[in-house]
Chains A and B, each alone.
Chain A
Amino acid sequence: MALNEDQPRLGCGRLIDEVWASIDQPPSTHEQTCADCQSARAALHHLVAVTESMRDRDRDNPALQPGHRVKEAIMMVARAEVRRSRRTPLATTPLGTIDISEQALSALIRFAASTLPGVRARRCTVTAPRTIHAPQASQATQGGASATTVVDVEDVRITLTVALSSQVRIPATMELLRERVGTIVQAQTSITMQQIDILVEDLYDL
């Protein structure tokens, strides 16, 4: 009881929170006859009704939305800060190394995975057991100041998390998925991935 000492009590001795706790139920025998409880119930019902009106009105009120320029400003920052992360060299030419950012490689892998029905690609990480610290690679990269490390193109390994439709057969889909991702990445970048780990993180209903 000590915990409730700072709470105001109704004339009948009940706590207002006790009235609230059963606000969705019909009034109890006590509440049917107690003027204090009836008054408190009416006040709380009223608050609920006005709150619901305000919530619905606010949600649909075009004046209670941020202006378009807010999203534009956020996206401008996001684009400027797109994480290029590590880079994987694709080919060496007389002019330098052509490479692909881990971010672009991940996007390609997610796209490849999403071409299979019942597969939703989530996160993709490029694991590199032999990441090379290669200053010569960053010299060859346009704006390569951030490209401090490169992934060994001979040893690209990825981990892809996916959500699968509950309708698909998981083992067969995993096999197809591995093949599809490997084929598309090979065709688009000439990278032959050494290892494609796929984690099924979630199932979804169609």
Chain B
Amino acid sequence: MASAVSLDDLDELTVVARAQDGDLHAFEWLISAYQGGVFRLAFRMLGDHAEAEDIVQETFIAAWRNLPNLSAPQAFIPWLYRTATNKCFDQLRRSLRRPTDPVSFDDGAAGTPGAAGEGELWNQLPMPAGGPAQDPAVYHETEAQMQALADVLQTVPAGLRVCWLLRGVHNFSYAEIAAIVQQPESTVRGRIARARRLLAEGMQPWR
């Protein structure tokens, strides 16, 4: 049944509610709107295009099956990312080809490479020329720097990495991330802080 109004003109919660009622057009609209974000999260978690596509496919099929039971339409996006995150972790556990230790998924404190020397490294960071806020190099982005960040990101333990990605790249709030990874907000804050330190340290040669 065609709707009198294009889905593009509706608010998102209305579209989610319709998808919850089994409306295929509404569901297809949601796929178009969110498959990119889910894919990019999975790609940065797994580093593999085909695996990230599999995550998108499995996540949205699970979404279709679970939508009718969702308590409120507002819960859809966190639910979607929680499902994708869990599937990424499953995939990482299956493929033990990652440099990260699988046991360090949830807490980087023990398994974080270089955690012991972190403070020392920070103290050896070279002084930038001029005030940092005025340093044009800070804002000068290059292809190489982005690739370096992507590479360093792969060395950050998965449990920290996902929290950092959800905050820094996908713009979720701490409370939303806590709901997605199902950890207390304080844990999420700690993980993001640790990931940020590791990344800033790893990016040091690229400044």
Residues of chain A whose beta carbon lies under 8 Å from any beta carbon of chain B: 6-11, 16-17, 20, 26-27, 35-36, 38-47, 49-51, 53-55, 57-59, 63-67, 70-71, 73-75, 77-79, 81-83, 85, 103-104, 106-108, 110-111, 114-115, 120-124, 161, 163, 202, 204
Cross-chain pairs A/B with CB under 8 angstroms, 28 sampled: A8-B122, A10-B119, A16-B193, A27-B132, A27-B133, A38-B132, A39-B122, A39-B127, A42-B128, A43-B201, A43-B203, A46-B200, A47-B149, A49-B139, A49-B140, A50-B206, A53-B141, A53-B146, A54-B146, A58-B169, A66-B52, A71-B35, A74-B56, A78-B24, A78-B61, A106-B22, A110-B3, A124-B21
Q: Which 3 A-B pairs have the closest CB atoms?
A: A8-B119, A122-B17, A42-B132
Complex contacts, B118 vs chain A, CB 8 Å: 8
A9: nearest residue on chain B (CB-CB)? Answer: B119
CB distance from A166 to the nearest CB of B (A): 12
The answer for the CA separation of A124 and B17 in the assembled complex, in Å, is 9
- Nearest A residue to B68 via CB reads A83
Check: B14 CB closer than 8 A to any chain A CB: yes
The number of chain B residues with a CB under 8 A from chain A is 73
What is the CA–CA distance of A46 and B44 in the complex, to the nearest angstrom?
20
Complex interface: chain A residues within 8 A of B35 (CB): 65-66, 70-71
With a cutoff of 8 Å between Cβ atoms, the chain B residues found around residue A44 in the complex are: 196, 200
B96 within 8 A of A: no
B149 touches A42 (CB 8 A): no
Residues in A whose Cβ lies below 8 Å from that of B10: 120
How far is A148 from B39 in the complex, measured between Cα atoms in Å?
39
Q: Is B184 engaged at the interface, CB distance under 8 Å to the other chain?
A: no
B120 neighbours in A (Cβ, 8 Å): 8
Whether A103 contacts B53 by the Cβ 8 Å rule is no
Q: Is the CB of A65 within 8 A of B193?
A: no
Main secondary structure of the interface of A (DSSP, over half): helix
Q: Chain A residues near B131 (CB, 8 Å)?
A: 27, 38
Give B109 Cβ to nearest chain A Cβ, in Å: 6
Residue B87, interface by CB 8 Å: no
A122 to B: closest C-beta gap in Å: 3
Q: Which residue from A6, A53, A73 sits with its C-beta under 8 Å from B145?
A: A53
With A110-B3, A123-B21 already in contact, the answer to whether A47 and B31 are too (CB < 8 A) is no
Chain B residues whose CB sits within 8 angstroms of the CB of A78 once the complex forms: 24, 27, 61, 64
Rounded to whole Å, the gap between the CB of A66 and the closest CB of chain B is 5
CB distance from A72 to the nearest CB of B (A): 10
Are A82 and B14 interface neighbours, CB within 8 A? no
The answer to whether B193 touches A17 (Cβ under 8 A) is yes
Contact A66 B125 (CB under 8 A): no
Q: Which residues of B contact A81 (CB under 8 A)?
A: 64-65
Give the distance in Å from the alpha carbon of A108 to the alpha carbon of B21 in the complex: 12
Cα distance A114–B119 when bound, in Å? 61
Residues of chain A within 8 A (CB-CB) of B17 are 122-123, 161
Docked-complex contact A41 and B22, CB < 8 angstroms? no
Complex Cα gap A59–B41 (Å) = 11
* 15 additional A-B residue pairs with CB within 8 Å, beyond A49-B141, A54-B149, A66-B57: A6-B109, A8-B119, A16-B193, A26-B133, A43-B200, A47-B149, A47-B203, A50-B146, A50-B203, A65-B39, A79-B24, A110-B23, A111-B2, A114-B4, A202-B11
